[in-house]
Each structure stands twice: as structure tokens, then as C-alpha cells.
Amino acid sequence: MGKLENKIALVTGGGRGIGEAICRRLAEEGADVVVADISPEIAAETVKKVEAVGRRSLAVKVDVTKSKDVDEMVRATMDKFGRIDILVNNAGVLTVRPVVELDEEEWDKVIDVNLKGVFLCSKAVAKIMINQRDGKIICIASAAAKRGLDLFAHYSASKGGVARFSQGLAHELAPYNINVNAVCPGIVPTDMWDKLDEEVGKYKGIPKGEITKMFTQVVPLGRMQPPEAIAAMVAFLASPDAQEITAQAINVDGGLRDY
């Protein structure tokens, strides 16, 4: 029996990459999983993987920047499962741009998805968890939350906001037996990272793949962190073993040094 047996988990951005790995790991630990994603087709594929390990699942289309979508996502979850024990705020976007070339629309998109989305989802689910007097909220931030990077100032700002928002929310919800933490992944091989590698390379005049090599060289463990490593930390923070851990931003980055 897993440590999350019969818990109900809601994962945003659950269709691919880190989110998909999180959905699979939570299911393996015994949770039923709602896979929320802006792409219902991709979410449906992750649902199949959750069901393959014997757990119930539901695909929900959501744009986390829209409160109406978020409310409908929470309503669909409650209609099917009747409670929400775990919320994982994973939906996110990344673009590569120096500040002097960054227009308002691109800034707004990154801040809205990465930070406003965490606010809207957390607010909606926290109300339910307060009534339950129990719950775990886990927000996926980034190593970039703790260090500003050239070409990623807007992304670093959004993820730094996620880390600090998680801490403040943890203090507010602690009286209701609700834990809130952030996880800060390092270099994770996903489609998002492949896009980053290519676009940063263009700005710096470096061939595709070289940026990944450069970043990996400042990881003491000497390797990228697989999505499953992030999922393992999320599963731990969602479990009873982490009952005394809250208001933290925990790195899963192989010991990543400053660049």
C-alpha cells in the first residue's frame, strides 16, 4: 500500500514533462489523480497512465490564468471525487528574451501562467482544504527562483514569486493543518528545456546542445535531474512523512552552483 492510498490529487500542467511524471508517481503511491492541462488530448494520455496502475483519474481542460476555468476545474474534481487532498501547481511557461527586447505581452504571459495561475488555483483549493482542515499544496518553482539569470529575468521573477507566495500561504493555512511548500527543479530534460537550449544558443551564438553541457558542468552531481526526481520530492511532500515540513522552497537540482 502506498503512502497516498485513496488520496485525491489535482495536478495542473499534468499532461507532459514534470507534470506527467508527478501524476504517475502520485498514482503509484495510491492517489487518484485529476490531470488538468490546457491540452485535453495530452491530459487524456496521462489519464491512461494513471489508470494503468489501477487508480482513478480524470482529465480536465484548464487555462490557469482564468478564474472561471480554475473554478470549473475544482468543481469537476469535487463532483467526481468529493474532496481534494493534494494540489500540485505545476503549470508553467518559459520564454527566452533579454529585458530590453521583452514586450509587455510576453511579460504578462509568463507572470500570468507561472504566478497568477498558482494564486488562482491555490485560492480555489485552499477554501476546500480549510473546510476539510487538512491538505497539501505543492508549487513547482525553479532553481531560477533563487538566482536571477540573463535572458530569464521575467521567468526568474515569476518563479521567485511562486516561492515567496508559497511561504506566505503556508503561514496563513498552517492553523488548518494544511502544508504548503515549493519545489525548485534544476536542469530537467523536458520539451521546455530543449526549447530553452535552442533559443539561448541562438542569442549566444552557440550550437544546440552546448548550453545543456555548460549548465550541466555547474551541477556537482554532473547530470541533469530526471522528471521522476522532481516527482519523488512532490510525493514525499504530499505524504504523512512530511507533516512537519511547510513554508519551504526545496531544491532538487543536483547541488547546482551559481553560473
Weakest-pLDDT range from 14-18, 143-147, 233-237: 143-147
Q: How high is the pLDDT of residue 163?
A: 98
In a domain, 40, yes or no: yes
178-185 β-sheet, strand order:
57-61, 32-37, 8-12, 86-89, 135-140, 178-185, 249-252
> From the candidates 155, 176, 203, 259, which is the catalytic residue?
155
What CATH code is carried by the domain that includes residue 247? 3.40.50.720
* Residue 1 predicted with pLDDT over 70: yes
Q: What is the pLDDT of residues 166-190, one digit of tens each?
A: 999 999 999 999 999 999 999 999 9
How many structural domains is the chain composed of?
A: 1
* Residue 259 predicted with pLDDT over 60: no
In a domain, 164, yes or no: yes
Closest C-alpha among 113, 88, 102 to residue 29:
88
Q: What mean pLDDT is reported for the chain?
A: 96
Whether pTM exceeds 0.85: yes
In a domain, 219, yes or no: no
Residue type, 235: A
Cell digits of residue 161: 514569486
Q: How high is the pLDDT of residue 181?
A: 98
Q: What is the pLDDT of residues 58-99, one digit of tens each?
A: 999 999 999 999 999 999 999 999 999 999 999 999 999 999
In a domain, 3, yes or no: no
Q: What is the pLDDT of residues 22-46, one digit of tens each?
A: 999 999 999 999 999 999 999 999 9
In a domain, 212, yes or no: no
In a domain, 204, yes or no: no
Q: How high is the pLDDT of residue 258?
A: 64
User: Can you tell me the distance from the alpha carbon of 27 to that of 66, in angstroms, rounded to the nearest whole number?
Assistant: 27
Average pLDDT of the residues in 207-226: 90
Closest C-alpha among 70, 91, 78, 69 to residue 20:
91
Show the domain range for 87. Answer: 8-187+226-252
Q: Is 155 a catalytic residue?
A: yes
Task: Kindly give, in sequence order, each residue whose CB lies less than 8 Å from that of residue 88, ignoring residues fewer than 6 positions away.
Answer: 9, 10, 11, 12, 14, 19, 22, 26, 138, 139, 140, 234, 238
Checking DSSP bridges between strand 135-140 and strand 86-89, what pairing results, if any? parallel
Closest C-alpha among 242, 229, 254, 204 to residue 18:
229
Q: How high is the pLDDT of residue 214?
A: 87
